[in-house]
Amino acid sequence: MDNFIFNNYTPKGFCREYVEIKGNSSQLAMFMATVLGIKPLMDDWINAGRLKEFRKVCKQYGLKIREDVLFDSVPKSDLPVNILGRDFITTTSAYGYPVGSRQDIGVHVFISKNEALLKEGMWYPVIIKNRVIFQPRIDSLKYGYTLGYPECCIKFFRKFNNWLKYSYLYEVYSNTKGRPSFLCNPFLKDTSFSYIYHMPCSYDCKATVRLTSRLRTEIKRREPGYVDLVDGYLKKSFLAFYERKIYCFDGSLRNNEIKYKRFQFTTYTKKEYEDEYSGYFKQADTVKLLGRNIILSRGGKVIRQLELKWSSFAPEFPFMIQFS
């Protein structure tokens, strides 16, 4: 499978050091946004062995840093069953250690131009003494504001982020009245090619467009090559099922059909079962969505038809979209 989405990008100048120290460029745009004062606060993970260098880079860019805890990430499936709270971990699972106790793992840090905002950093659940330590609920509810997300998006997320009841991406799609803007495309937010890290309330959210438009303009002044790449990726065609199953196609969308040369599953995962369709897409050059059916063709001839199953958790309401 082509891995174009997961390529790193190293800037020519602006924030180059960030990528060199991190070893990857995920969250590069968010770091740039924080340096530019557009994003009030961000959090990140830096290898403990490179923390000293990272502090210097932050100082160089006028950023204040707060070091939180060390994260020793572990796949959830590898966690012993006697870890208290194991079943309530939704995303990353990690053991926590005090900063300074190890040099081989990542440090969770908060970064901001405004020192006063560092106090608003949010604890991420980590395992300490066989127990997952969770943050107070109010901290996670309010964190979107601290990170600079638009209020409309925070409220929409509050209402529809419920994997038992809604297909969130589809709810955003339903809430989109105008033309989907690439400045509101969240599908690549876990790669190096995204202007946003939040889930917007619609794919034409005015507040998000204002925010990312400003960021894009400032980045373009300093790293035009990066902007060209990001724009290009964000304007591709997508077939979305739910947050962990989105495919990106190098091709145009017309009448719920995409003719493509290459494609990529956009979730970075080691769980092969999550990438349900790459094997099928490899055999085709056209994918069409008809209700809950995926029709694959090659050379104008239908080669396969797939029917989506219903599920009670993380329900999938597939849709195709191309941002412009």
Partner 1 sequence: MREDFLLNMRILPEHRVNRFEDNCIRADYIFDYMAERVFDNPRLLDLLSIKIKKWLAIEKSEFTYALAGYISYLKEDFAQAEGFFIKALNFEPENIDTWLDLAFSLYHQNNRKIRLALKILFNFDTCAKSFRNKKITLGALEKTMDKL
Q: Quick one: which of 1, 12, 75, 84 contacts partner 1 (CB under 8 A)? A: 84
Q: Is the Cβ of residue 93 or residue 181 nearer to partner 1 in the bound state?
A: 93
Q: Shortest distance, CB of residue 92 to partner 1, whole angstroms?
A: 17
**In terms of C-beta density within 10 A (0-12 exposed, 13-18 middle, 19 or more buried), how is residue 259 classed?**
middle
Q: Is the Cβ of residue 76 or residue 179 nearer to partner 1 in the bound state?
A: 76
Q: Is the Cβ of residue 52 or residue 137 nearer to partner 1 in the bound state?
A: 137
Q: Quick one: which of 38, 89, 133, 152 contacts partner 1 (CB under 8 A)? A: 133
The rounded distance, in Å, linking the Cα atoms of 143 and 153 is 12
Under 8 Å CB-to-CB from 250, ≥6 apart: which residues?
236, 260, 261, 262, 263
Whether 92 and 73 have beta carbons less than 8 Å apart is answered as yes
Q: Quick one: which of 13, 52, 88, 272 contacts partner 1 (CB under 8 A)? A: 88
Count of residues near partner 1 by CB under 8 A: 25
Site string for partner 1, 38-77 (x = CB under 8 A): ----------------------------x-xx--------
- DSSP label at residue 179: P
Long-range contacts of residues 273-276, Cβ cutoff 8 Å, at least 24 apart: 274/244, 274/245, 275/245, 276/245
Q: Quick one: which of 85, 225, 232, 279 contacts partner 1 (CB under 8 A)? A: 85
Whether 109 and 64 have beta carbons less than 8 Å apart is answered as no
Q: Quick one: which of 37, 75, 136, 232 contacts partner 1 (CB under 8 A)? A: 136
Characterize the bridge pairing of strands 64-73 and 237-242.
Answer: unpaired
Q: Quick one: which of 12, 56, 59, 119 contacts partner 1 (CB under 8 A)? A: 119
Q: Quick one: which of 46, 94, 96, 185 contacts partner 1 (CB under 8 A)? A: 96
Whether 287 and 240 have beta carbons less than 8 Å apart is answered as no
- DSSP label at residue 38: S
Q: Is the Cβ of residue 73 or residue 293 nearer to partner 1 in the bound state?
A: 73
The rounded distance, in Å, linking the Cα atoms of 226 and 223 is 6
Q: Does 129 engage in binding with partner 1 (CB under 8 A)?
A: yes
Positions in the binding site for partner 1 (CB under 8 A):
66, 68-69, 84-85, 88, 96, 98, 119-120, 123, 128-129, 131-139, 141-142, 158
